[in-house]
Structure 1
């Protein structure tokens, strides 16, 4: 659930980051509905073989995304890792910078500019 009408921008970033990704459906609020017209009432997108659903919320609430839930991506190569890290970390916050932490060749944990938490790994 995104606040501020940014769900579509977030989905566009995610599908741009991955070769095997697509926005599958988008249903938008209309002029006669209880949220800002054109924002995302419900949408689905796919990254690799995983499907995600998202919405925009016009209701102000005291919570947002937390790193207690992360999207975990196993990268096929160091090049893929670097590409994803560079795109997803831009404007975001890195909690664990790219490094070999002993359990993988390279790992990073970050929140993207929309607050969504990602763990990137190369075995």
Structure 2
């Protein structure tokens, strides 16, 4: 039997833009907060002031993020996305507009037969979001 303290948390790895990303995400969702954040100091290994580790929550869901000080040959991929079930069409439209700005449209807002309205974007940081409005 699994331990009661065991948790699974979405973990996002950025390369220098973690704080910018989490601040942006927190501006979009209700019930958003930084739970904990630590930054690299002058002694590294990451660039001073960048995020060594942060925990934040959006709409009650916890996330973790870091700024990797190692350059990687990979980034985010739409094969893993954050799926947001929106309560209203206005909320879906607002989120879509904010997330697609300086990002990439994967599926424009529309009705695709499986819900009332749907859109899929990669945001300006490369994180993939699916936004859905049930019938």
TM-score range, shorter chain: over 0.9
Larger radius of gyration: 2
Q: Alignment partner for residue 111 of structure 2, among 84, 87, 100?
A: 100
1:91 aligns with 2:108: no
Shift of residue 28 of structure 1?
0.3
CA distance in 1, matches of 2:44, 2:18: 18
How many residue pairs align between the two structures?
Answer: 122
Name 1:8's counterpart in structure 2. 19
CA deviation map 1:76-110 (0-9, x unaligned)? 00010011001111000010000000000000111
Q: Could you say what the CA RMSD is over the residues aligned between the two structures, in angstroms?
A: 0.7
Gaps of at least 5 residues in structure 2 are 1-12
CA distance in 1, matches of 2:131, 2:44: 38
Name 2:31's counterpart in structure 1. 20
Gaps of at least 5 residues in structure 1 are none
When normalised by structure 1's length, the TM-score is 0.96
CA distance in 1, matches of 2:124, 2:61: 21
Name 2:9's counterpart in structure 1. none
When normalised by structure 2's length, the TM-score is 0.88
Report the 3-state secondary structure (helix = DSSP H, G, I; strand = E; otherwise coil) of the residue aligned with 2:21.
Answer: helix
